[in-house]
Amino acid sequence: MRYLQSAVFIDDNIYNQISKSPEAVVNAEPRQPKAVIQPEVTVQPTATASPETPPSSEDRPTPPFRTKDLVGSFAEFGIVCALYEPEPNFPTDEDSVVFKLCQTADLVILDWDFHEVGVEGTKPKALIANLIRSGNRVAPHHVRLIAIYTNTQSLYSIANSMLQHLESEEMKPEPVDGSALRLQVGSSRVVVLGKAGGVMRVETEQPFTVMEKDLAKRLLNEFAVMNEGILPSCALLGMAAVRRNSRRILDKFPACPLSLKPRH
């Protein structure tokens, strides 16, 4: 997608607290809230391999989440992906840093829990509602794709919580193509995606589980589907051409120096 140029990934566990540099996130126990939309399923335990038998490729642990792979996945498509780790209790209003950062990005990727204990999703729900409200005020409306990218086990519980919050904010979220994991709210779309890495999810959630190295490709596809059709495609191609050739366009209109000589 030529139109897309920037993305922002917001998580509360991006940087090593000692070196302050991006690194692989420490393997954490996957969160397992009770699913609301999708019923729970029982997973049968598997047999443990004997010490003499080397583990198969399916039994080997999945490598931890790597922000380097995530940023690299966007770089392959010429998209700049910014990493941002907010402080605890960060604000999400329109004057906040995190809101301004998300407002200027073409793609917004959010974790589901930010330094939260007990109740998850408070910050992303407030931020997403503010972004949608702001996008719907401008004319024409700001088209925005927001992805929740989480290690939480039940993606349906997140989608249900997001749906209820947007309804409480007097918005009208609608599931897309019968999938509760895609919500259309005005000109904005919210998609719930799960991080891969040993988290057991129900069968209908498997297509929404994405490895970090494949995240950019998946979001570009989601954006394309969101704007499918001849007229939207032509409009995006036109805007993309303007964005990529802005320097050439400005060169056609050289600056005219103002005369300092006063006129009589």
Tens digits of residue pLDDT in 63-119: 456 788 888 999 998 888 999 999 988 999 999 999 999 988 889 999 998 877 667
The helix or strand, by DSSP H or E, that contains position 193, with its residue range, turns out to be strand 188-195
Confirm whether pTM is higher than 0.85. no
First to last CA, the chain: 55
CA atoms within 13 A on the CB side of 83: 17
Residue 218's contacts (CB-CB under 8 Å, 6 or more residues apart) are: 193, 210
Q: Is 243 contained in some domain?
A: no
Q: Is 178 contained in some domain?
A: yes
Number of domains in the chain: 1
Residue 254: predicted pLDDT? 65
Tokens of 44: 């049968």
Measured CA to CA, the distance from residue 210 to residue 208 in angstroms comes to 6
- Give the pairing of strands 174-176 and 179-185: antiparallel
Tens digits of residue pLDDT in 16-44: 655 556 655 444 555 555 444 554 444 44
- Give the pairing of strands 80-84 and 6-10: parallel
Q: Is 131 contained in some domain?
A: yes
Name the 3-class secondary structure at 145: strand
Q: Is 165 contained in some domain?
A: yes
Rg (CA), the chain: 22
- Asked if pLDDT for residue 203 goes beyond 70, the answer is yes
Q: Is 48 contained in some domain?
A: no
Which residue range(s) make up the domain with 10?
6-39+61-228
Helix 67-75 / helix 215-226 crossing angle, nearest 10 deg: 50
For range 217-229, the mean pLDDT:
82
E strand spans, the chain: 6-10, 80-84, 107-110, 144-150, 174-176, 179-185, 188-195, 209-210
**Percent of the chain beyond pLDDT 70?**
62
For range 174-186, the mean pLDDT:
89
Query: Which amino acid is present at 184?
Result: Q
Q: Is 237 contained in some domain?
A: no
Q: Is 191 contained in some domain?
A: yes
Residue 204: predicted pLDDT? 92
Residues constituting the chain: 264
Q: Is 222 contained in some domain?
A: yes
- Give the pairing of strands 209-210 and 179-185: unpaired
Please, which pLDDT band fits residue 191 given cuts at 50, 70 and 90? very high
